[in-house]
Amino acid sequence: MSFVNQNVKPLNTKRNEAGNLEISGCDLSELAKKYSTPLYVMDEVTLRKMALDYKEAFSIYKNMRMMYASKALMTTAIASIFYNLGFGFDVVSLGEMYILKNAGVDFSHATFNGNNKGKDELEYALENDIARISVDNFYELELLNEIAHEKGKIQKILLRVTPGIECHTHEYIQTGQLDSKFGFDLNMVDEAVSLIIEKYKNIELKGLHAHIGSQIFETQVFEDEIQVLLEEIKRIKDKFNIELNEINVGGGLGVTYVDTDAPPDVYKIADITVKAIKKYCNLYNLKEPILYIEPGRSLVATAGVTLYTIGSSKNIEGIRKYISVDGGMADNPRPSMYSAEYFGEIVNAKTEYIPQKVTVAGKFCESGDILIKDIELNSPKAGDILCIYDTGAYCYSMSSNYNGVLKPAMVLINNGKSDIIVRRQTLEQLIQNDVIV
């Protein structure tokens, strides 16, 4: 049996009787016709299944707080789905907090992360009674204490630490290694703790936070991370006589973008995490802490696909055939940023199967704007619709208006029903902030 994050395609993806690709009862060529392309499509059924798997897998631990890492995909509708599923949120900016608020989410299960939070952002977080702030550095400790003092509050925090663990993922999405811009190095932790105890009276330290990286396939690194966090808690207990009772282990579980990717499933991660907590709490004689996890990618990637229309093509005899689509690096910068790989398929029915090896290029003025290098597609022609899988995470949230293109719309589908949850940008919106002087 495979779990959502181990599948390339959303649940219930198939060819329908007309021969078109269909997800959750929605014919993708109909969606492309109705909403136009490029189009982000999110399948609610797949998204909910993964969220419920996470909840069930981690229900083996009683002091559990499930958070969704908003940076993977944040829209008002998505926030509201996770809220109704009982998730808290990891937010990293004023904008993400604003979207949460717009979705009617209170901040009682939200953590504010980030390595350079602005004063306005911290103020907004405190005004909205955010549950935790994960403080990243000394500058922030002082700033936060000042703001909390002004507002007459005592803000509960975690300390973000850099556990010195390297995981095998793209170097741009590793975060736990020593040479990282994020968090306190372990040798700075004591100073931070003593400052909080002695000087920063408007801050209450509840626990430690770490995040070791993203798109992780190994399991040992998660155990190592927990060992480091609990060792620190034990050290702090021995030295300062306070026992911190919360750990946030971040996110990072990988997904299958292409067949060769082999991430573990969420039950395995839950098992390893909980066993590691029990093991090291026993060893160090600690109470079992409240556990926060904050996955992003693995909750939303597989539920999302992007639909494009194929336009021009270029055949370089003996070298390669390029086919170009009506989107690219502005709606999905991941291939050009991280050499990320994707799988795709022609949506519309074809009378026969004539495989052709092509490279799928975007429409942007950059040679690096390639969505998929060397993929076999069924005789791709201008006007065909191409579906690229696993685009639910870090595509819309990292999209841009490069080359003056409009950001695509997003539809949420569920059992034959489709609803716009993000409208396509308009030309008016593109220039709405421009000023002529």
The catalytic site residues sit at 365
Taking the complex as a whole, how short is the minimal distance between the CB of residue 356 and ligand LLP, in angstroms?
29
- Kindly tell me which of 296 and 380 has the beta carbon lying closer to ligand LLP: 296
- Kindly tell me which of 90 and 140 has the beta carbon lying closer to ligand LLP: 90
Q: Alpha-carbon distance 200 to 210, whole Å? A: 22
**Among the listed residues 10, 163, 176, 251, the single contact to ligand LLP using CB under 6 A:** 251
Interface region with ligand LLP, contact rule CB under 6 A, candidates 44-52, 248-256, 280-288, 378-386: 248-256
Does position 250 interact with ligand LLP (CB under 6 A)? The reply is: yes
Q: Are the C-beta atoms of 242 and 190 separated by less than 8 Å?
A: no
Interface region with ligand LLP, contact rule CB under 6 A, candidates 249-257, 274-282, 313-321, 402-410: 249-257
Taking the complex as a whole, how short is the minimal distance between the CB of residue 104 and ligand LLP, in angstroms?
23
Name the token pair of 418: 């489709």
- The structure tokens 């293109």 sit at 405
Does position 296 interact with ligand LLP (CB under 6 A)? The reply is: yes
Q: Are the C-beta atoms of 421 and 412 separated by less than 8 Å?
A: yes
Q: Are the C-beta atoms of 230 and 291 separated by less than 8 Å?
A: no
Taking the complex as a whole, how short is the minimal distance between the CB of residue 113 and ligand LLP, in angstroms?
5
Name the token pair of 135: 């403080």
Q: Alpha-carbon distance 362 to 325, whole Å? A: 5
Does position 207 interact with ligand LLP (CB under 6 A)? The reply is: no
Q: Are the C-beta atoms of 222 and 269 separated by less than 8 Å?
A: yes
34: left (phi over 0), alpha (psi -120 to 50) or beta: alpha
* Binding footprint of ligand LLP, residue count (CB under 6 A): 23
- Kindly tell me which of 253 and 305 has the beta carbon lying closer to ligand LLP: 253
Residue 360: how many other CB atoms lie within 10 Å: 24
Interface region with ligand LLP, contact rule CB under 6 A, candidates 247-255, 364-372, 375-383, 429-437: 247-255
Residues in the chain: 437
Interface region with ligand LLP, contact rule CB under 6 A, candidates 139-147, 209-217, 228-236, 265-273: 209-217
H helices of 285-313, where?
297-300
**Among the listed residues 29, 46, 75, 298, the single contact to ligand LLP using CB under 6 A:** 298
For 273, the 3-state DSSP assignment is helix
- Kindly tell me which of 135 and 253 has the beta carbon lying closer to ligand LLP: 253
Q: Which amino acid is at 165?
A: I
Helices (H) and strands (E) in the chain, counts: 12, 21
Q: Alpha-carbon distance 374 to 26, whole Å? A: 28
- Kindly tell me which of 301 and 422 has the beta carbon lying closer to ligand LLP: 301
Does position 338 interact with ligand LLP (CB under 6 A)? The reply is: yes
Q: Are the C-beta atoms of 160 and 186 separated by less than 8 Å?
A: no
Does position 263 interact with ligand LLP (CB under 6 A)? The reply is: no
- Kindly tell me which of 300 and 325 has the beta carbon lying closer to ligand LLP: 300
Does position 217 interact with ligand LLP (CB under 6 A)? The reply is: no
Residue 262: how many other CB atoms lie within 10 Å: 9
Does position 211 interact with ligand LLP (CB under 6 A)? The reply is: yes
Site string (85-104) toward ligand LLP, x via CB under 6 A: -----x--------------
Nearest to 322 by CA among 366, 372, 364: 372
Name the token pair of 251: 């996110």
Residues 6+ apart with CB under 8 A from 30: 20
Does position 197 interact with ligand LLP (CB under 6 A)? The reply is: no
- The secondary structure of 354-400, three-state, reads CEEEEEEECCCCCCCCEEEEEEEEECCCCCCEEEEECCCCCCHHHCC
**Among the listed residues 394, 411, 413, 418, the single contact to ligand LLP using CB under 6 A:** 394
Does position 208 interact with ligand LLP (CB under 6 A)? The reply is: no
Does position 252 interact with ligand LLP (CB under 6 A)? The reply is: yes
Does position 206 interact with ligand LLP (CB under 6 A)? The reply is: no
Does position 256 interact with ligand LLP (CB under 6 A)? The reply is: no
- Kindly tell me which of 24 and 113 has the beta carbon lying closer to ligand LLP: 113
Q: Based on the number of CB atoms within 10 Å of its own CB, is 88 exposed (0-12), middle (13-18) or buried (19 or more)?
A: buried
Taking the complex as a whole, how short is the minimal distance between the CB of residue 317 and ligand LLP, in angstroms?
35
Judged by CB under 6 A, the chain residues 65 through 84 that form the site for ligand LLP are 69, 71-72
Q: In the complex, which residues of this chain contact ligand LLP (CB under 6 A)?
A: 69, 71-72, 90, 113, 173, 175, 211, 214-215, 250-253, 294-298, 334, 338, 394, 398
